[in-house]
Structures are given as C-alpha cells and as structure tokens.
Amino acid sequence: MKNKMILLTALVLLLTGITLNGTFGNLFSAGTFSFNYFASGDYAAGVFAAGKFSIGIFSIGIFSMGIFSIGIFNLGIYAIGIFIFARHKRLPELLHAVSTKPILMKPLIVLLIVLAGLSPKALSQIPNSGFELWSDKGAYMDPAGFATPNSLTTGTRYPVSRSADHFPASVGNYSIKLESNPTENLFGIALQNNQNSMFAGSLPAFPVSGHPTSLTGYYRYLPQNGDTMIILIQLFNNGSTVSVGTFISTDTVSDWKSFSIPFQNYLTADSASIILSSYYAFGSPPSYVPQGNSVLFVDNLNLNNLITSVSDRITLNEILTLFPNPASDFVHINSVKPVSLEIYGFTGQLVFRNQNKSTEHRQNVSEWSAGLYFIRLRSETEAINQTLIIRR
C-alpha cells in the first residue's frame, strides 16, 4: 500500500505541475546545468529532477539523490536501484509488486515516460526544423508548421516550395526555398503562429523550455536589386514577447553557410515563433515589397547548437510535427509515415481515436477541458508518443 501511494502521489504531483505550467507559465528547465521545478539535464536539481547527476524530491538518474530515488547509485529514503543507500531499500519488493500488480505498473511507466520526455533536446526542438514534412495541396506544397502565401498566389509559380538542395548533405532530404518576384507578385515569406495563418501575425507557435540563447541553421541567398533577407525568431512568455533575435543580410551567399542568431537578454520563455523571408517584409513602402527575383534557401534550424549530423537531430520531431502546442481550438499533426491517432486524458481515459492512417490529422479540441493529454500515433512498424497541452 505504501509503494502504491508513493507512485500515485508522484504521478499526481507531476501531472498537476505540468498542467499548472501550461496555464501559468514556465516551470521547466533543461540544459547541461538545470535548476527548476521540473529539471532535466546532465546536472539537474529540482522537485522533479532527471539527469546523469540528479537531486530532487523525485529523482531519476545514474547518480540519484532524493526522497524518492531511482537510479544506479541511489541515496534517498525510498530508493530503487543497484547500489542503494536508503532507509527503505525497495528494489526487490517494489519491482516484484510492480510486475505483479498492474495498478502499480501503469503509474510507474507513465511517470518514467513523462520524466524521460523532459530531456533538453526534446523540449527545445523546433517542429519540422529540417523541412522534411510538407502538405501536398495539389498544385503546390506547404511546409508543416509554417504559414505561406502559396494559397493566395494566382500565377503558375509559387513563392514557397520544397527543394532537394539541402545542407548538411547527410541530414535529411529537403530544405525550404523562398522566392520573391515583384513582376509575378511572388512574396517569399513563411511564418509561424498558433493560427497557422498569414494574417494572424507573429504569435506563439511552439513550446520551448530551458533558456535557449540562439537560433542556428544554414542558408543560401541569391538577392537581386538590393533585396534584403531576414530570419527572425521571437520568444514569448504567457503570450507576451520577451526576446527577439534577427539576422538581416543583403550579401550573396552562393554556397550553404551557417548562421547563429543571439537572443536579447530575457528571464524566461515558454514558446517561440520564426519568420523566414527572401525580402525585407517589414516597415513602410517600398521597403516591405520585393525588389527583384531573390531566392532564399534555409535548412536545419535548431536552438543553441548547430546541426552537423543525423545524430544531432531529434528524430521524433522529424517523424511527428504537432502544432500549435499549447492549443485551444484546433491541433494539426503531420507525420512522414501514415499513422493512426489516439489521444488520452491525463488519467488514462481514451478521448479520441482515428484508426484511418494518414500523414495529416486535424483535430478540433475547442470543447476539451484544459490540461495535459497524451497522443499516440501508430504506423505499420512503430508507435510514437507525444504530449499536448490544452489551454483555456
């Protein structure tokens, strides 16, 4: 009974904390040195801490210290592991109880999965950062997670397209190509917001955690008539802008080149959005209209670290893009492979199921209660798990 209460208490507190985070702000911290309510990193300290060296009330790590401690080397009151220094050594008893009683197995598995999901890369990865996910609209394609003017174009060419010219060559297969041309009314711009609309402006589009300091990636730029490219990232906290990073250039860059955009100083951020444009799409006329047939290629965006190999990329986010998150009206889910969709509430009840496999799912959540939900997608060969926050 004590073991059961320990696990259930840990799970309830964890889910409550995540729900509060989705409503009131950023309680997460992720990084090499991480300190917050929910902390994840090589060196982590917090109420819920996960890392190689972990200190917290609920602690998981190789070297773990806390009241409830799980790891290889453990110091705590209640501990599970190989080398244990604890008042209650629960390795044989608790593992036997968990393996024989499903009511214990479920909360423990959910607790470990959620804590494992708080890794620094998983929390800070930009959806569709390598531009591998595209929605086929018939005459044109749109990059998942980005709004474009393609649907407004009346000619035979479109300003935003998928390109096989990508970088690094060993990472992914595509990049995004943005092309401007004043004579054809092509406006090469792509932006993110939680409405997935060109007219909603710059709004939070994807969640971030920890304290990212820069946006990195690769680009090529072929300007005409003095055009100016721009890559802009905006950080938000509770819907308000807290920092902006901007990269502006008029230089011709024929070969792929890396960039790093530092953020303005800020305290905390819970979400972000990105704008890419092959012309200077801000200000007053004539500066915000294209000056010539200018082309911008962008690939492999990331927060903090430059992607140099396949191992640097978070595969989950290339397989699955979920936006917006947090959500209030609709959720869009795109995947490389056709998948079926299941959504569960935080207590484990099935909320929605669509067994028809597709690479695109659009779900109305406007009448769902605020809180944390678990998404499970299944292809023919694998299953993918993700979390969704509904905010009211």
pLDDT digits (tens, 9 = 90+) for 330-350: 888 887 778 888 888 876 788
Q: How distant, in Å, are the alpha carbons of 115, 133, 143, 202, 383 from that of 319?
A: 21, 8, 14, 25, 11
Q: Residue 56 above 80 pLDDT? A: no
pLDDT digits (tens, 9 = 90+) for 242-251: 999 999 999 9
Residue 188 — φ and ψ, nearest 5°? -80, 85
With cut-offs at 50, 70 and 90, classify the pLDDT of residue 145.
confident
β 350-364/294-303 pair status = unpaired
Q: In the prediction, which pLDDT does 221 show?
A: 97
Q: Residue 14: is its pLDDT beyond 90?
A: no
Q: What is the pLDDT of residue 277?
A: 95
Specify the higher pLDDT residue, 138 or 308.
138
- Average the pLDDT over 105-117 and give the result: 45
84 band by pLDDT with thresholds 50, 70 and 90: low
Q: What is the mean pLDDT of residues 283-308?
A: 83
Lowest mean pLDDT across 151-160, 292-301, 367-376: 367-376
Beta strands in 278-317 (DSSP E): 294-303
24 — pLDDT class (breaks 50, 70, 90): very low
SS3 110: helix
- Tell me, what's the pLDDT at 1? 58
pLDDT score for 121 = 39
pLDDT class of 104 with cuts at 50, 70, 90: very low
Calculate mean pLDDT across residues 309-316: 53
Domains parsed from the chain with CATH numbers:
2-118 (no CATH), 134-311 (2.60.120.260), 325-390 (2.60.40.3080)
Burial (CB count within 10 angstroms: exposed 0-12, middle 13-18, buried 19+), residue 266: middle
CA nearest to 146, candidates 208, 219, 198, 181? 198
DSSP string, 340-376: EEEEEETTS-EEEEEEEEEEEEEEE-TTSPSEEEEEE
pLDDT tier at 275 (50, 70, 90 boundaries)?
Answer: very high
Peptide bond into 338 cis (omega under 30): no
Task: Report residue 200's pLDDT band, with 50, 70 and 90 as the boundaries.
Answer: confident
What whole-number distance in Å separates Cα of residue 282 and Cα of residue 273? Answer: 16
Name the band, by pLDDT with cuts 50, 70 and 90, for residue 68: low
Percent of the chain with pLDDT over 70: 64
pLDDT at 310 over 50: yes
pTM tops 0.75 = no
What is the distance between the alpha carbons of residues 345 and 4, in angstroms, rounded to a whole number? 21
Is residue 122's pLDDT more than 50? no
Q: Label residue 193 by pLDDT band (50, 70, 90).
A: confident
The H or E element that residue 26 is part of is none
Average pLDDT of the residues in 170-187: 93
